[in-house]
Structure 1
Amino acid sequence: MTPPAETPTASGAAPRSRPRAALLLLAVPVLAALLGPLAAGDASSARDALPSRPPDAEHPLGTDVLGRDVLWLVLHGGSSVLAAALGALLVGVAAGVPLGLLAAGPRRLLDETVMRGLDLLLAFPGLLVLMTLAATGHREWYWLVAVAGVLQVPAVARLVRGAALAPGTRTVVEALRMQGHGWTYIHLRHLARELAAPLATDAAGRFSVVLYLLASANFLGLGLPASSPDWAVLIERNSDALFTQPAAVLVPAGLLTALCVGGNLLVDHGLARRTRRR
């Protein structure tokens, strides 16, 4: 019996719509972060006005508690969010991948040394570390990014170590060693392909973790100065005016949410598509 003609169409519509929704969710905050400063102009565009005013013709999103144009702040606040989160994620991956491969090597003593040291780092709460850093006077943005990245190293290293020690991976690695291939070929060609999928999946979720950590630090006043247009700082500065001027809180909060959800959905779709092709 031939299945109804609409069945394949109906079953295929949902998967096709998912990447579009993910791209749309991701494109809005990313484009706002990259092109927003060009569209908004310089600081003179954010003319002083009465604080916490609702949207009007002159200020489409109203003003914040300091009387600044919320639209101008939103268009200027995404670049710091995107740069800090990507920078911290890059630090975590750049340090975690080699440590994970080192721990997955044949020397058990080295494995124990690396992993127990990373377990010690994993025991420290992220916000507590950032609060301690701020209390010692290290409030610059690069300290915040560096420490947030270092806090991701244990989780990244554990993921890499687990993937490299998987039975199927170990069998291939041993076979390549018996064929005379060196460390560079095995790790940079074979293991790199094997680790690409789990690393991509973890990177999307870890981006959300890093973004949450950095946003929480900025929300608590541990990172960027209070005058910064950063989306997290904007939420913190206007949280008391949520009911009188909700756009100053909900718009940057929505952009942060779209950035996390869109990135996760896009990576999940890409990995699912790669699995179906296999």
Structure 2
Amino acid sequence: MSSREDAIVPEDETVREGAGAARVRRPRRPWVALVLLGVPVLAALLGPWLAGDTPSAQGALPSQPPGAGHPLGTDVLGRDVLWLVLHGGASILGSALAALLIGMAAGVPLGLLAAGPRRGLDETVMRGLDLLLAFPGLLVLMTLAATGHRDWYWLVTVAGVLQVPAVARLVRGAALAPGTRTVVEALRMQGRGWAYIHLRHLARQLAAPLATDAGGRFSVVLYLLASANFLGLGLPVSSPDWAVLIERNGDTLFTQPAAVLVPAGLLTALCVGGNLLVDRVLARRRNR
């Protein structure tokens, strides 16, 4: 009897462990991430087309609560908040994506260059990037604004350049990982060229860490640009940009909260949704 029980118990435990592992490994559908990311993205892309060129009503009183003709009320200048929100997402989303692309486009080649076989080149590239890493982002943007460079493209370019050191460090570290480095050396001994090693092998190895970093870095860039606009360093105060709306209507938070909470909620959803979606996609790839 005892031997039979000993033979049965491990089988039951194995079944339970297998079922538990299956439950853990089963990827969940990223509906929450899609909703959080989709709402602000759709508002940014389709908002200008849905809202039209001019507000639905003009000459309204400033800082009015939601009511007839103004579903979200009016801002401190008497403009319809719903119209402003629908027109303000394109600037912040486009600026963040452009700055992120600039950082990736410059950081990835520099990281691969530093991970090459030449030690002197590695030191030169990384020490130069360390100097750039020492400058606080907002301080650089404030200095740029003080010198009269307040145009949109200056703000985006500098925000993108400030991301280059972190991206280059990530790429260099991933390329110099023991497993990746061993394979690269083997490919070089086989006579494989630079394009084959970097565009085929390293591209696959760096895809996952770069995607994860891009999700978090998008939030960093978004925070930097929103902070600059919030401080009046970027877009003009009349811009419908979500960050500008928060700054302009901050004093009316308790009397007209929709003018502050709606754009703030869209910015938060954009950051959180992007990070969650990247995490879920990478988790699904690992479980396959």
- Aligned to 1:259, which of 244, 264, 270? 270
- Aligned to 1:68, which of 58, 63, 79? 79
8 Å Cα contact 2:27/2:283 also seen in 1: no
TM-score, normalised to structure 2, is 0.92
Considering only aligned residues, what root-mean-square deviation do their CA atoms show, in Å? 1.7
Match of 1:39 in 2: 50
Match of 1:89 in 2: 100
Displacement of 1:276 in angstroms is: 1.2
- Aligned to 1:128, which of 134, 139, 151? 139
Deviations 1:173-195 (A, max 9, x none): 01111111100110011000000
- 1:161-200, aligned counterparts within 5 Å? 161-200=172-211
TM-score, normalised to structure 1, is 0.95
Deviations 1:139-189 (A, max 9, x none): 000000000000000000000000000000000001111111100110011
Match of 2:112 in 1: 101
Displacement of 1:44 in angstroms is: 4.3
Displacement of 1:11 in angstroms is: 4.4
**Pair 1:78-2:86 in alignment:** no
CA–CA distance in 1 between the matches of 2:83 and 2:163?
33
Displacement of 1:48 in angstroms is: 2.4
Deviations 1:212-240 (A, max 9, x none): 00000000000000000000000000001
CA–CA distance in 2 between the matches of 1:74 and 1:275?
38
Displacement of 1:43 in angstroms is: 1.8
Deviations 1:43-86 (A, max 9, x none): 24352200000000210000000000000000000000110000
Gaps of 5+ in 2: 1-11
Gaps of 5+ in 1: none
8 Å Cα contact 1:46/1:72 also seen in 2: no
CA–CA distance in 2 between the matches of 1:57 and 1:35?
23
Aligned-partner residue type, residue 16 of structure 1: R
Greater C-alpha Rg: 2
CA–CA distance in 2 between the matches of 1:165 and 1:14?
32
Displacement of 1:275 in angstroms is: 1.0
CA–CA distance in 2 between the matches of 1:72 and 1:145?
25
- Indicate the SS of the match to 1:43: coil
Aligned-partner residue type, residue 124 of structure 1: F
1:13 and 1:243, CA in 2 relative to 1: closer, same or farther beyond 3 A?
farther
CA–CA distance in 1 between the matches of 2:120 and 2:65?
63
Deviations 1:81-108 (A, max 9, x none): 1100000000000000000000000011
Identity of aligned residues (%): 84
CA–CA distance in 2 between the matches of 1:215 and 1:154?
21
Count, aligned residues: 273
CA–CA distance in 1 between the matches of 2:101 and 2:197?
23
- Aligned to 1:244, which of 246, 251, 255? 255
CA–CA distance in 2 between the matches of 1:49 and 1:248?
15
Aligned-partner residue type, residue 178 of structure 1: M
Deviations 1:106-129 (A, max 9, x none): 011100000000000000000000
CA–CA distance in 2 between the matches of 1:142 and 1:80?
11
Aligned-partner residue type, residue 28 of structure 2: R
CA–CA distance in 2 between the matches of 1:221 and 1:244?
23
1:14 and 1:182, CA in 2 relative to 1: closer, same or farther beyond 3 A?
closer
1:208 and 1:111, CA in 2 relative to 1: closer, same or farther beyond 3 A?
same
